[in-house]
């Protein structure tokens, strides 16, 4: 368990269902020994695997203890409160939430939306001087930035050369209140934890809304009962339209509030898959030739925006959440800005560079060998069913070759392999074996079963090995026992006379009402009789020795003589020719 990663796997809980592999857009999952682990260098921290894991094996690192230690250290700790709190805690309001955070020990509270105002002002300034054919991509969402720099490096140069709203806010707070204060982010975002990990001098810790709920419960603080305090510190000032950032389109609204020229085009896309399609369109068009005015793309990793972040209480009810944020952000004046554009510019600038994930060059021969490991010898064998979590069999084979997948993940291969093993066992068993369905049609049987039935069945076997589809009713007089077991009766174990033979018969249910199986042993066969004599002799020895132990003083040497005699019988049978 690598708890240093913001997302990790509790291996003991992982049930090798591969749902996280199927759902991960960038396939940042490695499966080893049937357990799925997140590959840190490939992960973009969208948190989708955490949401879809049916057993909760994907975990998010909690940094709550770090935040508590920071407060207990005596430092002035400022809470950076994400504006999506309005949808997460509807009806609470900024003043009441600020009062609650103050009671938890925070020195002051600052709206992350204030940092969004700083970024919006700077983006507006860049758009005013942008070239007519310029395409600018928002830098507000760390997951989107990670996705573009790792997987769409051609667009890395189009990301606005600005830090995220959180980083902008944190840097300005340090500028205003000194570097001895500490900033703790509170919001629904997992990727903010990585921002804090990489820029600890700006943001000390990032906790999520689940952590906050746990903390409030520990301190027995019920938000609806907390009294708002007019003296509570909201620093450096109330945010403006940056409060709309958590909803898709909110970033654009905030930017437009800074008098952006009318010729600038804006588009909003949320959700990694939708973003992927949008970038594909741009790539195919090689930009938007002939477009009048620059284009700004607001890209948010979570569908609907941050209100549906991975650490929000629920990712449904988007309409209600949007309304909560819109009400929270309405009637907000233009941010007053504690620092001028010129003074803050140096704190906000950041150049984003492509850091594409390594792509292994895999030859056709190696790919074919990997496909053969899962029973795929031609294109027709490549089902592309997606059961392994990959879109195509070839994608899966590539993942195997780079160590991120195992052959056992291929459902069709494992099913065929299990069928081959079962068929092999059925053929090798010296007894007669048959499996029937709920219509008493044969699903599978071995040669010995056909031999027991007689010449007619053997002729059928020669024409169609396995007798698949043949009616057991026509072949076996005591077929009713199979029907009894299919109807729910206990397994049947008895000797039955059939065609001058005595068959030791075991009939059992495989799946109630669906399949039943039968095993038949001709006890009149010579080798079976020998085995039975040997078996009975062993039983006699066991029983006799038990008695001998009790009455040894009466039997004396006769006990040893009896054991030796019985053992000699067994040895004579076991060494006789023709005994299997």
pLDDT score of 554 more than 90? no
Q: Kindly state the helix (H) or strand (E) to which residue 81 belongs, with its residue range.
A: strand 77-81
Greater model confidence, 501 or 106: 106
- pLDDT at residue 576, rounded to an integer: 46
Domain boundary, last residue among 478, 501, 522: 522
Domain boundary, last residue among 490, 507, 522: 522
Q: Is 351 exposed, middle or buried (0-12, 13-18, 19+ CB in 10 A)?
A: exposed
Residue 355 domain-assigned? Answer: no
Dist. CA 99–CA 4, nearest whole Å: 32
- pLDDT at residue 551, rounded to an integer: 40
Structural domain for 540, as ranges: 526-575
Dist. CA 230–CA 186, nearest whole Å: 22
Which residues, at least 6 apart from 328, have a Cβ–Cβ distance to it below 8 Å?
A: 83, 86, 94, 243
Q: Provide the sign of the torsion angle of the four alpha carbons 82, 165, 328, 267, taken in this order.
A: negative
487/375 same-domain check: no
Residue 6 domain-assigned? Answer: yes
Q: Tokens at residue 147, please?
A: 């996705």
pLDDT score of 95 more than 70? yes
Domain boundary, last residue among 11, 35, 61: 61
**Domain total of the chain:** 5
Q: Tokens at residue 195, please?
A: 């921002």
**408: closest CA among 384, 389, 423?**
389
SS3 of the chain: helix, strand, coil, percent, to 5: 45, 15, 40
DSSP, collapsed to helix, strand or coil, labels residue 405 as coil
Are 21 and 391 in contact by the 8 Å Cβ rule? The answer is no
122/89 same-domain check: yes
| pLDDT mean across residues, the chain | 86
Residue 353 domain-assigned? Answer: no
Residue 89 domain-assigned? Answer: yes
150/28 same-domain check: no
Q: Per-residue pLDDT tens for 412-437? A: 888 888 888 887 888 888 899 999 99
Residue 115 domain-assigned? Answer: yes
- pLDDT at residue 336, rounded to an integer: 56
- Which of 64-78, 230-244, 561-575 is the least confident region? 561-575
150/71 same-domain check: yes
Q: Per-residue pLDDT tens for 435-449? A: 999 999 999 899 999
Dist. CA 189–CA 306, nearest whole Å: 7
535/506 same-domain check: no
153/290 same-domain check: yes
- Provide the CATH number for the domain around residue 25: 3.30.70.20
Dist. CA 210–CA 214, nearest whole Å: 6
Residue 354 domain-assigned? Answer: no
284/370 same-domain check: no
Residue 302 domain-assigned? Answer: yes
4/83 same-domain check: no
Q: Is 114 exposed, middle or buried (0-12, 13-18, 19+ CB in 10 A)?
A: buried
Residue 580 domain-assigned? Answer: no
DSSP, collapsed to helix, strand or coil, labels residue 502 as strand
CA-derived radius of gyration, the chain: 36
Q: Per-residue pLDDT tens for 350-395? A: 999 999 987 777 888 999 999 999 989 999 888 888 888 898 999 9
166/156 same-domain check: yes
310/339 same-domain check: yes
């Amino acid at each position: 368990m690598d708890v240093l990663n913001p997302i990790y796997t509790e291996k003991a809980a992982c049930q090798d269902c591969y749902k996280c592999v199927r759902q991960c857009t960038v396939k940042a999952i490695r499966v080893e020994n049937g357990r799925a682990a997140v590959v840190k260098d490939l992960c973009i921290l969208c948190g989708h695997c955490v949401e879809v894991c049916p057993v909760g094996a994907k975990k998010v690192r909690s940094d709550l203890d770090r935040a508590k230690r920071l407060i207990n250290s005596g430092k002035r700790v400022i809470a950076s409160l994400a504006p999506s709190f309005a949808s997460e805690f509807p009806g609470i309001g900024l003043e009441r939430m600020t009062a609650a955070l103050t009671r938890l020990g925070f020195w002051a509270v600052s709206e992350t939306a204030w940092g969004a105002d700083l970024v919006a002002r700077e983006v507006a300034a860049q758009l005013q001087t942008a070239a007519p054919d310029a395409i600018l991509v928002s830098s507000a969402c760390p997951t989107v930035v990670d996705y573009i720099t790792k997987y769409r490096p051609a667009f890395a140069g189009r990301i606005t050369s600005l830090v995220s709203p959180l980083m902008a806010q944190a840097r300005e707070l340090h500028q205003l209140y000194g570097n001895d204060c500490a900033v703790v982010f509170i919001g629904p975002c997992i990727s903010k934890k990585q921002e804090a990990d990489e820029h600890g001098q700006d943001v000390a810790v990032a906790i999520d809304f689940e952590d906050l709920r746990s903390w409030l419960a520990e301190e027995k603080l019920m938000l609806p009962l907390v009294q708002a305090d007019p003296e509570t510190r909201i620093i450096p000032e109330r945010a403006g339209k940056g409060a709309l950032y958590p909803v898709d389109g909110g970033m654009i609204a905030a930017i437009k509030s800074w008098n952006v020229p009318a010729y600038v085009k804006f588009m909003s896309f949320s959700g990694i898959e939708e973003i992927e399609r949008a970038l594909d369109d741009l790539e195919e068009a090689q930009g938007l030739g002939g477009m009048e005015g620059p284009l700004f793309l607001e890209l948010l990793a979570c569908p609907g925006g941050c209100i549906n972040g991975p650490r929000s209480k629920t990712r449904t009810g988007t309409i209600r959440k949007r309304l909560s944020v819109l009400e929270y952000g309405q009637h907000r004046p233009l941010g007053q800005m504690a620092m001028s554009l010129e003074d803050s510019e140096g704190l906000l600038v950041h150049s984003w560079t492509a850091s594409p994930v390594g792509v292994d060059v895999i030859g056709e021969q190696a790919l074919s060998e990997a496909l053969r490991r899962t029973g795929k010898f031609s294109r027709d064998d490549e089902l592309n069913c997606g059961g392994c979590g990959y879109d195509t069999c070839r994608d899966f084979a590539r993942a195997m070759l780079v160590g991120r997948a195992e052959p056992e993940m291929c459902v069709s291969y494992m099913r065929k392999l299990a069928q081959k093993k079962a068929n092999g066992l059925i053929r090798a068993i010296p007894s007669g074996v048959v499996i029937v369905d709920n219509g008493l049609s044969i699903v599978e049987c071995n040669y010995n079963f056909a031999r027991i039935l007689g010449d007619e069945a053997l002729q059928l076997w020669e024409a169609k090995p396995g007798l698949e589809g043949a009616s057991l009713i026509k072949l076996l007089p005591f077929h009713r026992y199979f029907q009894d077991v299919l109807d729910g009766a206990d397994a049947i174990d008895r000797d039955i006379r059939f065609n001058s033979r005595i068959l030791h018969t075991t009939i059992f249910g495989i799946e109630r009402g669906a399949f039943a199986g039968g095993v038949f042993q001709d006890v009149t066969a010579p080798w079976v009789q020998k085995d039975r004599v040997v078996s009975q002799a062993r039983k006699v020895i066991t029983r006799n020795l038990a008695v001998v132990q009790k009455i040894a003083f009466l039997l004396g040497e006769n006990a040893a003589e009896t054991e030796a005699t019985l053992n000699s019988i067994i040895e004579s049978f076991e060494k006789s020719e023709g005994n299997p």
